[in-house]
Structure 1
Amino acid sequence: MNPLILGLLIVVVVAAVAGGTAVLQQRFSPPQNREGYNEVAGSVFEIVSVLYAIVLAFVLIAVWEQMQDAQAMTYEESGALVDVYWAAQDLPDENRQAVEALCLEYANWVIEEEWPAMATQRDTGLDGWEMIDEMRGQFNQAIDVTDQTSLGLSQDAEETIAVLSQSRTDRLNTAQSGLSAVMWLVLIAGALLMFGILLLFGVPGRLAHVIVVVIAAAMVALLLFSVYELEYPFARGVAVEADAFRLALERMSHVR
């Protein structure tokens, strides 16, 4: 389902539940019976709401930055792959063709196999690593230890493959890096605490109290939904796409 539609549905449902709870509370506990709690509830709500806002803002910023970093990682990795393809142009024909084929196979493998696996948070296997190791092996095989130019080419290729390998490691680690269960407990429990404190207020206008509760519940639900969608950069509704590797395939097709 489209994340915008899903988010809207969740916010509407949470707001409806919160509003319904406030209406039921007013029926069995009129506002005038709770007016004596307003001063204490206000002090407690101020403390809880500020602390919760700080935690929620920190988490939301963290997952957003992780999403941005994840997208940058894909372009760094795909860029390194293209650099390896370019470096292969100076190799003997047999090694060059082998590296070119490996680079194309790697890009297609990432798009067709690893991206769906990351979207469902499954293990991506070792195939990608084996392709990188084979690329390294082809460059090493083509080295002429008596030729300084060949040694320089090998060193440059090794550095480029190292960047490719590190970027791949970062991408796979990020794909599995979500919030801990403890952090989700803090976020959900904090939201429930805020909602509970809001129900303690004895607001003279019943409609005004319902509106306040509904707005607060909807806002917190919206922010929590945003955290949920951004938690895993390569999964869920706003996941990073494999555009970087599609671009790499296009770039490699124009080399030479």
Structure 2
Amino acid sequence: MNLYLSGLLWVAGVAAVVAALAVLFRRFGSDEERLSNNESAGLVFTIVGGLHAVVTAFVLISLLDTVKSVGDDSTKEANSIVAVNWAATSFADPVRGKVEELTRSYLGTVLNDEWPKLRQEQDVDEDGWQKLDELRKVIAEAPAEGHWLENRKTEASNQLWEAYQARQSRLDAASGGVSTVMWFALILGAVMSALFPFLFGGPKIIPHIVIVVILTAALTLLLFAIYQLENPFSGGVKVDPDAFSSALDRLR
């Protein structure tokens, strides 16, 4: 289902349920009792709604930063692998051929094996780490006679370390997301914020229903956005492995 259609259905469905509850609550409740609650309920609603807004904003900003970091780390990782390959072209065979084989194989592993697993929130195996370790050993044992080859060897080692760090950050982001405790706080806070207007009284039911529906729709929309951002490799703002595809094309 289309992302925007799914979001609209969630927002509309929850808003409709809350609107129906508001009508029932106003029909069978006492207007005088609710009017007497306005001042005290307003103070509590300000505190509860404010705390929930702060927590929601913090989670959203954190997830948006994570999505951006995954994109940046993926680009850095892929470019560093290409740089390792280019630096190794200065060496003679079999070092050059081995590095070229391992860099292409590593990019293919990330692209064809790891990324689909990350989309499905599955753990990746050790194949990628093993290829990086093989690259490290090949570069470390490569003979380097002369200042130029020493520089190329150092450059290849530095770029491999950059790729290692970027890979670690990418995999850390896949195992992050929103914890169960935080989801509990977000959902319970949203429910409390949505139900608090039921305690307010007023002479007209239509404005009251509109207020409740708008508040509930906004809270549902924010929770839906958090859910879509939770996994940066899937959902509404998924990061694509374009950097690795481009890197593999360059090495071919």
Letter in 1 for 2:77: E
> How far apart are residue 30 of structure 1 and its match?
4.5
Partner of 1:48: 48
Partner of 2:168: 169
User: How many residue pairs get matched?
Assistant: 252
CA deviation map 1:146-168 (0-9, x unaligned): 54433332222111111111111
Partner Cα separation in structure 2 for residue 238 and residue 31 of structure 1: 45
Partner Cα separation in structure 2 for residue 203 and residue 100 of structure 1: 74
Partner Cα separation in structure 2 for residue 123 and residue 174 of structure 1: 12
> How far apart are residue 142 of structure 1 and its match?
2.1
**More displaced stretch, 29-38 vs 236-245:** 29-38
Q: Is residue 185 of structure 2 the alignment partner of residue 186 of structure 1?
A: yes
> How far apart are residue 233 of structure 1 and its match?
1.0
Partner Cα separation in structure 2 for residue 27 and residue 135 of structure 1: 73
Partner Cα separation in structure 1 for residue 251 and residue 4 of structure 2: 36
Partner Cα separation in structure 2 for residue 206 and residue 127 of structure 1: 63
Contact 2:14 2:220 in 1 (8 A): yes
CA deviation map 1:137-191 (0-9, x unaligned): 22223223x5443333222211111111111111001111011222111111111
CA deviation map 1:80-122 (0-9, x unaligned): 0110111121111322122112111111111111011111221
CA RMSD of aligned residues (A): 1.5
Partner of 1:97: 97
Letter in 2 for 1:20: A
Give the gaps of 5 or more residues in structure 1: none
Letter in 2 for 1:220: L
Q: What is the DSSP-based 3-state SS (H/G/I as helix, E as strand, rest coil) of the residue aligned with 1:34?
A: helix
TM-score (norm 2): 0.95
Letter in 2 for 1:150: L
Dislocated runs of 4+, deviation >4 Å: none
